[in-house]
Chains A and B, each alone.
Chain A
Amino acid sequence: MSMIIARQLLHRTGFACRSASINCRRFCTSQHIKMSRHTHSKRIEGLDKNVWVAFTSLAADPSVVNLGQGFPDIPPPSYIKQALAEAASVDKMNQYTRGFGHPSLVKALSQVYGTVCGRQIDPFKEILVTVGGYGSLFSCMQGLVEVGDEVIIIEPFFDCYVPMVRMAGAKPVLIPLRLKSGKKTITSADWYLDPDELSSKFNSKTKAIIINTPNNPIGKVFTRDELQMIADLCIKHDTLCFSDEVYEWLIYRGHEHIKIATLPGMWDRTITIGSAGKTFSVTGWKLGWSVGPEHLIKHLQTVMQNTLYTCATPLQEAVAQGLLRNFEMMGQPECYFTSLAEELEGKRNRMAAIVEDVGMTPVIPEGGYFMLVDVTSLNQDLSHVVGDDDEAYDYKFVKWMVKEKKLAAIPVTAFVGDESKKEFEKYIRLCFIKQDSTLAAAEEILKSWKKV
């Protein structure tokens, strides 16, 4: 369903038209095209549409204040850029390194996560470095998910989980986070998993459950009890757990990031995914990692050696330096893992205040750098917005907002399956890891909106 919506969005923006006409021209001028056999492989059937391709082009207009796609417009720490420049000046660092992860990086990761998890982590057998957290997710799916398996995904989910599961020939089984009834939503903690409902999703075909904590887009930080509930089911049904923890350091006051892999019985069935991009505000470095037991990691390594073999060397060296530096300071205010969270908490609060001021209702996130905003109370009439009758409200709202208000966000139904659209279509997602000037520009727009 979201594919149809995205396709129409593309059509409206003229994107699809443009590319279609180029292809048409080419077909007309080529001689012997018997294209009957040049169709794509079955594994990508229906996976071609992507919400980012659609919305990134919408927000590309420089006059639009972009609170959509999740990347910082604040600079990364200078020592990490410095470390990269230094690494690139060493001859060896411009050539291939160890396929499964640059030695200094896997050793640094082993130190950091060994401490955090309270266990010895073998840098060579229990860690794989990948192209972003994205690459780790892919390696998990390809390495461990079989055709015909089922994989449980909690809604709202980072949108790539579903196509990746489908590309592995498996079936995504969705379960939504639900809002505590009778409560006016104010924080991400008010969204919970119903234990009976979750339990009902497990069966003998369930290979894995994917969890994301802190969650994108809601910002929920799963509590120990909630993770224990999930863990109990994993152990009972003998399933794996892929835990996407890319925002692990971005936890706000009063909350604690818990690693499900540290719960009893879970290390041996969990892959934990992390990201240099989110950790050091360098999303453009595309480095991530999977941490887990050897008997699982080795299959991810097999995928790695047959897909891209190795990740970029100087970037890995620089991340290693950054990790070691912050490892020394872990728990202290100077540690980037702490200081970034503190900086973002201020931005979160500012964003929430701005949004409330306009009459919208924010869902205050416990972690991560996104905020859900309920636009219901604005009662915005979107009947004039060109689109399909069955296009979700949030898609229409975002399109209207980009065009009329020059402010970009992401519609939250992009992160849910068809059956849950009704529950989420009054929400849009804002990214607040932005410079003060960007937030100020957003504030201006929203203030003038209120006057209208």
Chain B
Amino acid sequence: MGLIRNLARSSTVIRQILIRNNHKIIMARQLHASRTDGVDKNVWVEFTQLAADYKAVNLGQGFPDFSPPKFIQEAFCKAVSGGPIMHQYTRAFGHPPLVRSLAKFFSRIVGHEIDPLEDILVTVGAYQALFCAFQALVNEGDEVIIVEPFFDCYQPMVKMAGGKAVYVPLRPKAASGAVLSSGDWVLSAEELASKFTPRTKAVVINTPNNPIGKVYKTEELQMIADLCIKHDALCISDEVYEWLTYDGAKHVKIASLPGMWERTITVGSAGKTFSATGWKVGWAISSGHIVKHMKTIHQNTVYHCATAAQEAVAQGFEREYEVFGSPESYFQQLPAMLQLKRNKLASCLESVGLQPIMPQGGYFITADISSVKVDYNDQSSVDEPNDFRFVKWLTKEKGLAAIPVSAFYSPEHSKEFDKYIRFCFVKVNEMQFMTLNLILIRFSFLFLIVLLYDSPSTQTLSFS
């Protein structure tokens, strides 16, 4: 592969001929950098466009259709109308009030005194925190173990850093009966252990998991931690949905386990924490000796993050620090509200023959589409996995957008899991329209009208 690339670069015979307005422009070399090879396709770009084109009810992409809580919106307004410094550069590695409030807030949760200036890097969303981690730590040829199903960006980010992704899937426990909960999807200790080699640089975990919603138990994290310590590997722990756990499931931070603080990068998100995905404020928390390398990446990529949004998030955490664990806490109220939505969507899916896997946490519910037989008329998608075809059909024909779950799997395992699709239930108003579409899915023409919701006026959300 490298040989061909070298040949291509040095050869003047290979030309990219671009025709623009009938004017030939001849570029005698490859335009793009090789690091962008194979990472240009993106499931979100494709499916968001599809949902927009067909004006579908969008339960695909994961973002709330309600506003952030009032206290944080007020904090943002206050920041915006604050002095001129709110609109100018702040400290590059994180606005001081924000890193201080994050350190204060998370120190007691992780059980380690977090240094606000050394152990935290604020980034443009958790997405950029992940990018900094991979770029700072992964060399050409390093292996990175990714637990499937995985948030799709992990794989291209590892690739772009020159690393090799090694996959290990969560598998439904051998079931006597239907697999009903994300807790039933587990890692095999032997299978995971077999994936470690001397080249393994890191393991990437996501808890609560997107898309399945699994919330890893302490024993499961300990098993992963033991392997990380044994093989001297790092752990990148994507915990953006950390506050969204249901049915009493407890979110556990792998960084809090013995021996893990100094080898774990914990990624968090203001967008998911405060229902403000459009603010794009995230962070990485780790031991200073790791964060310093992520800072080097950050100072050579975007350098600063927006000031006002960071100020508002800082105020949000100050407020939550005071009411932590109490009924007033947004971190109590939001999961309580979303649990109800989850339940309602689950019963609706069941009623039309889509088998849901009940998520213990997160924004999403996955459903098994095996029992629904569809006659696709779409020749353009004939080579695609079944779940891709199903979602496209659902979007185009039924006006309902979802995301195919095999997009979250490696090529080697996607075939096993192409019978699942993912819905986002962090929606208020969209849900009531969804029912009308779902009733048409069953080919047995059973009309089950399930009224999910009352009228919009009863849907007001009020968080103090």
A interface list, Cβ under 8 A from B: 19, 22-23, 26-27, 30-38, 40-44, 47-48, 50, 52-53, 56, 69, 71-76, 81, 84-85, 88-89, 91, 93-99, 131-132, 134-135, 138, 142-148, 160, 163-164, 167-168, 238, 240, 268-269, 281-287, 293, 295-296, 298-299, 302-303, 305-315
Contacts and interface: CB of A to CB of B under 8 A. Distances in A.
Contacts of A30: 261-262
Given A76-B84, A81-B87, A95-B278, A168 B289 contact: no
Contacts of B117: 19
**Of listed B48, B261, B299, residue having the most chain A CB within 10 A:** B299
Given A71-B88, A84-B80, A268-B25, A44 B296 contact: yes
B66 interface: yes
Nearest to A43: B135
Interface range on chain B: under 10, 10 to 19, 20 to 34, or 35 or more?
Answer: 35 or more
A88 B303 contact: no
A96 B300 contact: no
Contacts of A238: 26-29
A134 B45 contact: no
B51 to A, nearest CB: 12
Contacts, number: 244
Contacts of B30: 146
Contacts of A47: 296, 300
B381 interface: no
A142 B157 contact: no
B289 A35 contact: yes
Contact of B280 (A56, A88, A295, A312): A312
B459 interface: no
B292 to A, nearest CB: 7
Interface stretch (B33-41, B177-185, B243-251, B396-404): B33-41
Contacts of B160: 306
A164 B306 CA distance: 21
6 contacts: A26-B289, A42-B139, A138-B300, A142-B35, A144-B32, A293-B20
Contacts of B201: 37
Contacts of A311: 124, 280
Nearest to A240: B31
Given A34-B232, A312-B280, A143 B137 contact: no
B139 A314 contact: no
A146 B301 contact: no
Interface in B125-148: 125, 127-128, 131, 135-140
Contact of A286 (B20, B39, B277, B302): B302
Contact of B127 (A240, A284, A286, A308): A308
B40 A302 contact: yes
A286 B303 CA distance: 9
B156 interface: yes
B259 A131 contact: no
Given A26-B262, A143-B32, A284-B89, A44 B278 contact: no
A303 B135 CA distance: 13
